[in-house]
Amino acid sequence: MTPTNVTHFEEIRKRVEVIMEEEDKLSQECKDLILSLPREKGWRTRYLYLFQGFWCPPTEIEAIINFQKHFQAKDSDVVVATIPKSGTTWLKALTFAIVNRHCVTPSMTHPLLTFNPHELVPFFEYNVYVNGQIPDLSNMIEPRLFGTHIPFPSLAKSIKESNSRIIFICRNPLDTFVSAWIFLNKSMPEYLPELTLEEAFDMYCNGIIAFGPTWNHMLGYWKESISRPKKVLFLKYEELKKHVNFNVKRIAEFLGCPFTQEEENNGVLEGIIKLCSFEKMKELEVNKSGTFGRHFEKKHLFRKAEIGDWVNYFSPSMAKKLSQIMEEKLSGSGLSFNVYS
Ligand SMILES: Nc1ncnc2c1ncn2[C@@H]1O[C@H](COP(=O)(O)OS(=O)(=O)O)[C@@H](OP(=O)(O)O)[C@H]1O
């Protein structure tokens, strides 16, 4: 092992220890609850627990309970909701850039050039309600922007009942799986010691993935976007990538701040798209080092950003299997997900 590898390994070991300690520090109430829940081997934590109908790591369970008890939504709030590895970083960046475009003057450095999108749009479950904290969020600049991987039914009641808005994005589940698998292997390899790609894939097909089953997660937001289109905007990563201008304009309209013709003529829309692009974000110093969320490395957030990269990892039979599962689980909902597109 080279000295650089040793340092990297040491860093990862330390982060894993921190996570273990955080799990040990959970409140007794939460520990008791967790003991009563069905559990399966986790991908990046010792176990995932079946909590409120979805698979969840233990520290997130405590955070979600706190969030459900204490979060008071404002009508102006915007929540970026996603399945992990389906375009969260990108959508957070776009949302931040769209809603704050009138506050950023040409003479100032854009916050997205010096902060990672996860630092500008905090996750309820990883940043805001961690370690039993109940932060005072009333002084945050409005509109307040938050991120979450929590399924729709488990969002705080005040989000569902207020006029706050939710933008949801999901992605071809095979690419989502590959992105998650590679991200965790790179960022947290110690957590995947005995799990082969095939085993992880089988777990995924059985719905066992943080915040999954994936199909339930999609369906929760999908159904809400149909019944309350002003409340939930439902996006797909592939469509956002293929028709970025159209969809960025759609997001702005949904958020009540459409781009004017003048802004379009002056390159404001184009500028936002460029600023938030994979190529631009990947090259920023701020995104090359340091960690975010649950001690993940920022640099691994920007890998390939390609549609259909799964072909480099899966056999045709794996693709067929997941495709069939998705078809069956989504059948009758009006939502379809072609893994081949
Ligand atoms: N700006 C931008 N534009 C397009 N695509 C982007 C962007 N930033 C990140 N990515 C790609 O998104 C994948 C990471 O997903 P998430 O951002 O959801 O990860 S996380 O849940 O926040 O950890 C991951 O996909 P893969 O490359 O397929 O692994 C990233 O490369």
**Percent composition of the chain: helix, strand, coil (DSSP 3-state, to 5):** 55, 10, 35
Cα separation, 61 vs 141, whole angstroms: 27
Known catalytic membership, residue 300: no
Ligand 1 pocket mutation, candidates 60, 82, 85, 149, criterion most atoms within 8 A of CB: 85
Tokens encoding 32: 């008791």
Are 145 and 81 in contact by the 8 Å Cβ rule? The answer is no
Residue 23 pLDDT > 80: no
Residue 328 pLDDT > 60: yes
pLDDT, position 8: 60
| Alpha carbon nearest to ligand 1 atom 25, residue | 305
Pairing of strands 291-292, 47-51: unpaired
> pLDDT, tens digit, for every residue of 281-312?
999 999 998 888 767 888 889 999 999 999 99
User: Could you tell me what percent of the chain has a pLDDT over 70?
Assistant: 91
From the list 67, 62, 50, 59, the residue with the least C-alpha distance to 19 is: 59
Return the higher-pLDDT residue of 44 and 69.
69
Q: Alpha helix (H) ranges present in the chain?
A: 3-24, 28-35, 58-70, 88-99, 111-114, 117-120, 157-161, 173-187, 197-205, 214-227, 237-242, 244-254, 261-265, 268-275, 278-283, 316-330
pLDDT, position 340: 66
User: Based on the number of CB atoms within 10 Å of its own CB, is 225 exposed (0-12), middle (13-18) or buried (19 or more)?
Assistant: buried
Residue 207 pLDDT > 90: yes
pLDDT, position 197: 87
Cα separation, 324 vs 335, whole angstroms: 14
From the list 23, 28, 56, 50, the residue with the least C-alpha distance to 38 is: 50
| Alpha carbon nearest to ligand 1 atom 19, residue | 85
- Choosing from 149, 217, 243, 300, the catalytic residue is 149
pTM for the complete prediction? 0.94
Cα separation, 279 vs 272, whole angstroms: 13
Residue 11 pLDDT > 70: no
Q: Which residues are CB-neighbours of 64 under 8 A, at least 6 positions away?
A: 51, 52, 56, 124, 125, 129, 150, 154
Residue 52 pLDDT > 90: yes
pLDDT, position 262: 96
pLDDT, position 295: 73
Residue 64 pLDDT > 80: yes
User: Could you tell me what percent of the chain has a pLDDT over 90?
Assistant: 72
Tokens encoding 184: 């965790």
pLDDT, position 189: 60
From the list 288, 51, 326, the residue with the least C-alpha distance to 177 is: 326
In one letter, which amino acid is 239?
Answer: E
pLDDT, position 193: 55
276-296 burial, b at 16+ Cβ within 10 Å, e below that, comes to bbbeebeebebbeeebbbbbb
In one letter, which amino acid is 288?
Answer: K
> pLDDT, tens digit, for every residue of 248-282?
999 999 999 999 999 999 999 999 999 999 999 99
Q: Which residues are CB-neighbours of 65 under 8 A, at least 6 positions away?
A: 30
| Alpha carbon nearest to ligand 1 atom 2, residue | 278
Atom of ligand 1 at shortest distance to CA of 309? 28
| Alpha carbon nearest to ligand 1 atom 12, residue | 87
Residue 116 CB–ligand 1 contact under 6 Å:
no
> pLDDT, tens digit, for every residue of 127-182?
999 888 889 998 899 999 999 999 999 999 999 999 999 999 999 999 999 999 98
Backbone φ and ψ for 78, nearest 5 degrees, come out as -125, 130
> pLDDT, tens digit, for every residue of 211-223?
999 999 999 999 9
Radius of gyration (C-alpha) of the chain in whole angstroms: 20
pLDDT, position 201: 94
Pairing of strands 78-82, 54-56: unpaired
Average pLDDT value for the chain: 90
Residue 188 pLDDT > 80: no
Residue 278 CB–ligand 1 contact under 6 Å:
yes
- What average pLDDT does the segment 77-105 reach? 95
- Which residue's structure tokens are 């915007």? 78
- Which residue's structure tokens are 């080092």? 289
Ligand 1 pocket mutation, candidates 96, 179, 187, 310, criterion most atoms within 8 A of CB: 179
DSSP string, 260-291: PHHHHHTTHHHHHHHHTSHHHHHH-GGGTSSE
Of the pLDDT bands very low, low, confident and very high (cuts 50, 70, 90), residue 335 is very high
Are 89 and 281 in contact by the 8 Å Cβ rule? The answer is yes
